[in-house]
Amino acid sequence: MRFIDLNISDFRNISSASINVDAEDIVLTGINGQGKTNLLEAIYNICYGSSFRTISPKDCIRHSQDGFNLKATFINDYNEREIINVSFYDNKRKILVNGKEIKDRKELIYSFPCIVFCHEDIEFIKGEPENRRKFFDQMMTLYSPVFFDNLRSYRAILAQRNAAIKNESYELLSLYNERLAYYGLEIMAERTSVVYEFNKIFPEGFKKVSGTDLDLNIEYIPSWKNFGSVDEIVSYLEETSERDIRMSTTTSGIHRDKFVIQSENGPFASIGSTGQLRLCSLLFRISEAIYFTQKTGKKPILLIDDVLLELDSEKRVRLLKFLDNYSQAFYTFLPYERYSEKMENALYYTVEEGNFILDEKN
């Protein structure tokens, strides 16, 4: 699947733009604040009906306007042209695919697989445990509707159990415990399998791009690691209910799981340099793309937002050579950055104040 044209109205600083993107690689250059990232955000909205930069769609509306409209023509997996439209007006999001309205954004996930690389990704490496949980949960959600539903159910039950604790409705806890244990056990099993497979991709990728023999791997540490059945987890939740009541929250469960990046000298977040941590975050995303293709047979769209600047030229060349598992890639660069020979056949745009100017050499 790939996009061949984009039409954007009143999105961030983009007043109106019609952009040809019928190429495998699309390069956007310009100084900061001109609209490069805004275009990537628009594409992400088209793929998922949401933003990777904000929770509220209102933040994406161009100043003094009533809403935004995004439209794209794409080639599907059967080499057929289709049209998707995402709009937001009157506090309502509307998504149409070939004129048919999509009610649940979950339907988009499996039609428009998209992976974004951004500066905040470094938090997957050096940030709090919840950031790594978020990464692996997002990665699994991309290919598994069952995991998506289990995670959604777990979160809903967790919210209900926490509300019961805060409202002192303790008689309801036994009702929630069994359901929480059931979905938690399913998620633990999937996470265990994913980390095993991820460790077949990520460590070697890091060695190739970094040019070192540094051996990294992901260690999964479940909160309920000592339990293998629903009954065992339910018993544990009952035993620790007084602690949960005292803390006013559910203190154990898959929402407390940890994913630790280990090196031969200990947790990598504590010993890695800033450059190594940044490279590690890039390899997380690349490994995600490779794993997605292994699981689905499909290649995702990549949105690569100004994340290569911190790499030296040799690592950048190695990374771009390693980065070949995609159907289409959009890159943003500052004007003085050098590109790889890999992108000689790309479409190049200069971005100025929300306008996209196709370079003449195209």
Q: What is the pLDDT along the chain (362 residues), one digit of tens a residue?
A: 899 999 999 999 999 999 999 999 999 999 999 999 999 999 999 999 999 999 999 999 999 999 999 999 999 888 999 999 999 999 999 999 999 998 887 778 888 899 999 999 999 999 999 999 999 999 999 999 999 999 999 999 999 999 999 999 999 999 999 999 999 999 999 999 999 999 999 999 999 999 999 999 999 999 999 999 999 999 999 999 999 999 999 999 999 999 999 998 899 999 999 889 999 999 999 999 999 999 999 999 999 998 888 788 888 888 988 888 899 999 999 987 766 656 778 999 999 999 999 997 65
Helix ranges (DSSP H) in 49-144: 106-109, 123-126, 129-143
* Domains 1-113+298-362 and 126-293 equal at CATH topology level: no
- With both helix axes pointing from N to C terminus, report the angle between 145-166 and 173-198 in degrees, rounded to the nearest 10: 140
Q: Let me know: does 44 contact 111? Beta carbons within 8 Å.
A: no
Reduced to 3 states (helix: H, G, I; strand: E, B; else coil), residue 301 is strand
Do residues 78 and 154 make contact, with C-beta atoms less than 8 angstroms apart? Answer: no
**What amino acid is encoded at 187 in this protein?**
I
Residues whose CB falls within 8 Å of the CB of residue 317, separated by 6 or more in sequence, listed in order: 340
Task: Go through 201-220 and write b for each residue having 16 or more CB atoms within 10 A of its CB, e for each that does not.
Answer: bbbebbeebbeeebebbbeb
Which residues have CB under 8 Å from 76's CB, separation 6+?
Answer: 1, 82
Domain ranges of the chain: 1-113+298-362, 126-293
Length of the chain: 362
What's 51's DSSP letter?
-
d(CA 34, CA 48): 24
Fold for the domain defined by 1-113+298-362? Rossmann fold (3.40.50)
Q: What distance in Å separates the CA atoms of residue 18 and residue 24, rounded to the nearest whole number?
A: 18
Residue 2 CA to residue 241 CA, distance in Å, equals: 51
- CATH 3.40.50.970 is the classification of domain 126-293: no
Other residues' Cβ atoms within 10 Å of the Cβ of residue 194:
22
Q: Are 291 and 297 in contact (CB under 8 A)?
A: no
17, two tokens: 């733009």
Q: What is the pLDDT of residue 76?
A: 87
Rounded to whole angstroms, how far apart are CA atoms 140 and 137?
5
- Amino acid letter, residue 347: L
| Cα separation, 24 vs 343, whole angstroms | 9
